[in-house]
Amino acid sequence: MDFSLSEEQQELVATVRAVLTRHGDPRAERFDETLWRTLCDQVGVAALAVPEENDGFGASLVESSLVLEELGRALVPSPLLSSVVTAEALLAGADEDARARLLPRIAAGEVAAFVDGAGPVLDGDLAAIVVVATDDGLFEVTDTEAVWVASMDQTIRLAEMTADLASAVRIGDGIAARDRARLVGAVGCAALATGGAARALEMTVAYSKQRVQFGRPIGSFQALKHRMADMLVLAEMSRSASWAASYAVAMDAPDAAELAHVAASYCGEAFARIAAETVQLHGGIAITWEHDAHLVLKRAHALQHLFGSPREHRALLTL
């Protein structure tokens, strides 16, 4: 199987990276609405996996995952993951009328949140579109209350949400929507972790070339070269696992669930190990608020609790 990027995908990645490099702020605690509008209006990130008949680009989850990887690399807050999860859930479980009504809004950049009753809701307090999945069906809810919940990584925005299903509109199959949302969420977290791991490695290598000890850059010491080589292996393996999973889930491959669980487990733990090494190899500067190393560490640990921990995903592989 060929996992190299097409010319169009390479252009998408380059464009998103350029926008995030120029306008992204990893220290923001809430997504920048101007940046989000730029990504939606000029790049179309929210419309990538939405079918053309619903005002989308008709691409796939692969392209959305590539954008999520770049967002992870930039460490900026973004509602893209919650909107992608909701859109994919609607495609899997909603009726035609609901898809025709809600997907164009998501493609245009309205923030969407998916609720399946499992803890705090990603971007729940910011969402204009709220979809709830239960065993009894899939519902569009307009009567909601959401309270922001403080978390280790505040760039991943969570909210405690209550929804009045009595006034909600049933729009489809909740079980199918929930199953799809969980797979897509796992793949999305793997992509964010892969991007974060790449950023951490870049930071560490750059610092090792600048920091001088005993008259030499510390990157010239063999022991540190070995540690950074191990970080590179983890980062590259993460990218392979993430791309394989996003492709399989996008194509509804027979092993899609297995690859999604593998990616979520491997990428989450690899990012945590790389983040720890990033702190160690930056020395004392890494424990200061002025340096971005703490942002990497918090993101790595937060992603392990979003859409399932690595241990939970490994357990699902044994079923």
All structural domains of the chain with their residue ranges: 7-175, 179-317
CATH tag for 179-317 (out of 3.30.300.30, 1.20.140.10, 3.40.50.970, 1.20.120.350): 1.20.140.10
pLDDT value of residue 117: 78
CA distance 303 to 199: 15
pLDDT at 1 over 60: no
Tens-place pLDDT, residues 30-68: 889 999 999 999 999 999 999 999 999 999 999 999 999
CA 297 vs CA 75, 152, 170, 190, 237: distances in Å: 11, 10, 41, 16, 19
pLDDT value of residue 144: 87
pLDDT value of residue 151: 84
Tens-place pLDDT, residues 136-195: 999 999 988 999 998 888 889 999 998 888 889 999 999 999 999 999 999 999 999 999
pLDDT at 224 over 60: yes
Our measurement of the distance from residue 84's CA atom to the centroid of its chain's CA atoms, rounded to an integer in Å, reads 9
CA distance 164 to 101: 21
Give the mean model confidence (pLDDT) for residues 288-307. Answer: 91
pLDDT at 2 over 70: no
Closest CA to 103 of 72, 74, 140: 140
Q: What is the DSSP letter of 25?
A: -
Q: Under a CB-based contact definition with an 8 Å cutoff, are residues 17 and 70 in contact?
A: yes
Q: Under a CB-based contact definition with an 8 Å cutoff, are residues 293 and 279 in contact?
A: yes
pLDDT over 70, % of the chain: 99
pLDDT value of residue 128: 95
Tens-place pLDDT, residues 91-100: 999 999 999 9
Supply the CATH classification number for the domain 7-175. 1.10.540.10
Choose the weakest-confidence range: 8-17, 26-35, 100-109.
Answer: 26-35
pLDDT value of residue 167: 87
